[in-house]
Amino acid sequence: MFKGSIVALVTPFKNNKLDEDCYISLIHHHLKSGTSGIVPAGTTGESPTLTHEEHKKVIKLCVEETKGKIPVIAGTGSNSTEEAISLTKYAESTGANAALVVTPYYNKPTQEGLYQHFKAINDSCSIPIIIYNIPPRSVVDMSVDTMARLFELKNIVGVKDATADLDRVDQQKKKMGKDFIQLSGEDASALEFNLRGGVGCISVTANVAAKLCSEFQNATLSKNKSNLLAKAKEINDKLMPLHKSLFVESSPSPVKYAASLLNLCSEDVRLPLVKVTDSTKKIIKSALSNANLI
């Protein structure tokens, strides 16, 4: 169920408030473009600065608008275990298909602390949980051994791996087996990630290149790899400048600017994030042009 091009959906704002109409439009854009799943209220969705009401609203809107056509993997992580449990329970109550739970940031828990945090969330709900391991933002790195312990629990099904260490794919596959779902959290390395045993990407780039990202993932995951791998490499080369441009400044400011050029949403972000600089705008425009998106 959880594979292919899964968009880490941006949250559009209008006058610093959630733009619900635009958000619904974005959801339907992905339904039409072949996107395989949606993550509302992730980091790319600016979850740190969404109010609790907004956080719940974007999850509910995704569930309502997708109508079961593609999975909704709700971002429900927090550095407060109690808050993460509350958000995960809410996501389950709306009908979300899974929860994406980030490793607790700022607190810097030990491996045992990470285990107990995820176990508490696991024990409180009945929906699948995908661990979001992103050391550059959370400052903690969940070990493969801790992940293997968690995989023994009833609801832990996989990982969004944003370590940028491709050897982790091999290590995790060897330790947990092929049933452990491995999703890349890095667009630029998604090709190699899938070739090593990954099954998809929770993608920033898919916000502005939904169809291309879907075609790329389908090509890498096809059983007939001899014919489609060349296509995957071709699309990957086309998208690589865009992948890189969307992280020249803190995400999601660059991808929101790119989306604004495609008339998908405004470039507005919430403080402490700010709009991208003029020099970054040039890089993004060039990358979109290289991908034939503008």
SS (H, E, C) 58-114: HHHHHHHHHCCCCCEEEECCCCCHHHHHHHHHHHHHHCCCEEEEECCCCCCCCHHHH
pLDDT digits (tens, 9 = 90+) for 69-106: 999 999 999 999 999 999 999 999 999 999 999 999 99
CA 44 – CA 40 distance, rounded (Å): 9
pLDDT for the residue numbered 226: 67
CB 161 within 8 A of CB 145: no
At 229 the pLDDT is: 86
Domain assignments of the chain as residue spans, ordered by start: 4-229
- What is the spatial distance between Cα 45 and Cα 48, in angstroms, rounded to a whole number? 9
Q: What is the pLDDT of residue 184?
A: 98
Mean pLDDT on 121-147: 97
Catalytic pick among 3, 132, 256, 257:
132
DSSP secondary structure letters along 135-192: HHHHS----HHHHHHHHTSSSEEEEEE-S--THHHHHHHHHH-TTSEEEES-GGGHHH
What CA–CA distance (Å, rounded) separates 213 from 291? 11
160 is catalytic: yes
Structure confidence by residue, pLDDT tens digits, 230-263: 899 999 999 999 999 999 999 999 999 999 999 9
Q: Hey, what CATH class is 4-229 in?
A: alpha beta
Q: What angle do CA 24, 18, 67 make, to 5 degrees?
A: 25
Cβ neighbours of residue 10 closer than 8 Å, sequence gap 6 or more: 26, 44, 45, 46, 207, 252, 255, 256, 259, 265
| Residue in 57, 160, 256, 281 annotated catalytic | 160
